[in-house]
Every structure is written in structure tokens, then in C-alpha cells.
Structure 1
Amino acid sequence: MSKNTVPAELADDAVILDVRRQDEWDAGHAPTAVHIPFEELQARVAELPSTDGPIPVVCRGGGRSSRAAKWLNDNGHQAINVAGGMQAWHAEGKPMDSADGNSPRVL
């Protein structure tokens, strides 16, 4: 499975895997996202949340999340890339939180 989804197809409270860097996460993320940076995914794969179907994977624009979703699918997990990443999530008006004290934004 290596298909894509878009933010409009996801519920505002969907559990998603965010594979961006810490500073990107701190600036703005989906409220129900789980943060595992791309570089740490292989070592932290046991921390993936359980879902009823494929877990949506997001990054800034879709490159890292596409690679992460492919790796997860190749290794026995179900994952789907969020096309357009957090840029598309934000443009769609989806909810966002920040961890750095500023208004949520996408770096």
C-alpha cells in the first residue's frame, strides 16, 4: 500500500503520525498527532498508535511522510501518506496546536 490521502479526507481528530523535526512539531501540529521524527522512526516503531486502518503519516509537504509510509508498509504496518503535508492541513483550516507558545504555524 503506497497511496495518498489528503487532509480533507481526514477527520479533524484523526490520529496521525507526524515525522517532522522537533522545531517543526513545536511550531504547529495536529492536536491528536503522535510525533516520531523521520530519523527516529525505525528505532521507535513500537510507539506507533494502534488504529482501525492505515495510519496517516504527515510531514511539512509530503516527501518525508511518503518515505516513512513506504518504509512502514514494507515492514508490516499499514500507513498512508498525507499528500501536501502540514502545509495542506493548515491550508484546509484543520485544527492545530503549538508547543512553543506562539500561534500554530507550519515551518
Structure 2
Amino acid sequence: MTVTADPLPEVDVFAALRLAAEGAVLIDVREPEEWAEGHIAHARHRPLGRLSLADVPAGPVVMVCRSGNRSGQATRALVAAGRDDVVNMTGGMLAWARAGLPITPAGA
């Protein structure tokens, strides 16, 4: 399925951190082994291949993945489904780590 939504609603890692502090839900759509390597504290894990509309609570919601590509796909699909309260975190966990933001270690 190809879904388009232009422009893709996006935020950088610092805006994502601020939104989370204000109550936004972060949904990490990476695969289980990626999640296990480390993730953002309090993020919810819903792999992209198993993500459904029912998994996404009322917003605001920030979608997260490794680099921003899969979370962008999820964001586009949600916007196409009528959601206007969902944004993609640009750069994903790679940008989060580069910014020195906290990552919950493996197994936690």
C-alpha cells in the first residue's frame, strides 16, 4: 500500500522530547530486536508490521523508528486515515542518540 501525505508532519528530536514532557505518546515502530537494543523511556513499542489504528491513542503522538523512514510511513498512513495529531520524529533513534538524549538500556 502506498500512502502519501504532503507535507509529512515532522518534528526534530528536541521538539519530540518537549512534546513527550507535555504528555505526547511516543510510539516506536522498530522491530523487537531494535527495541531491545535501547529505546526512549516511556515509549510504546508497536512494530510497524503489526501497527493498527487501535494501537494509536488520541494525540498528540510522536512516531519513532531507527532513522525516521518507517515512522514516516506510519505517520503518512495515520494522516491518510484522518489523524491530524500525529507527527514523525525526523532522524529517528540515530538522531536521538547523536543529540545525546537518554536511551533506556537493553533489557530495561
Q: Same fold (TM over 0.5)?
A: yes
TM-score (norm 1): 0.79
Q: Which runs of 4+ in 1 moved over 4 A?
A: none
| Partner SS state of residue 88, structure 1 | helix
Q: For the aligned residues, what is the CA RMSD? A: 1.9
1:49 is the counterpart of 2:49: no
Aligned to 2:4: none
Match of 1:100 among 90, 104, 107: 107
CA–CA distance in 2 between the matches of 1:48 and 1:3? 16
Long gaps (5+) in structure 2: 1-6
1:50 Cα deviation (Å)?
Answer: 3.4
Long gaps (5+) in structure 1: 102-107
Aligned to 1:25: 35
| Partner SS state of residue 17, structure 2 | coil
Aligned residues: 97
Q: Is the 8 A contact 1:19 1:57 kept in 2?
A: yes
Aligned to 2:89: 82
Higher mean Cα deviation, 66-75 or 2-11? 2-11
Aligned CA distance change for structure 1 residues 28 and 13 (closer, same or farther; 3 Å) = farther
1:20 Cα deviation (Å)?
Answer: 0.2
Aligned CA distance change for structure 1 residues 85 and 50 (closer, same or farther; 3 Å) = same
Q: Which has the higher strand share?
A: 2
Q: Calculate percent identity across the aligned residue pairs.
A: 34
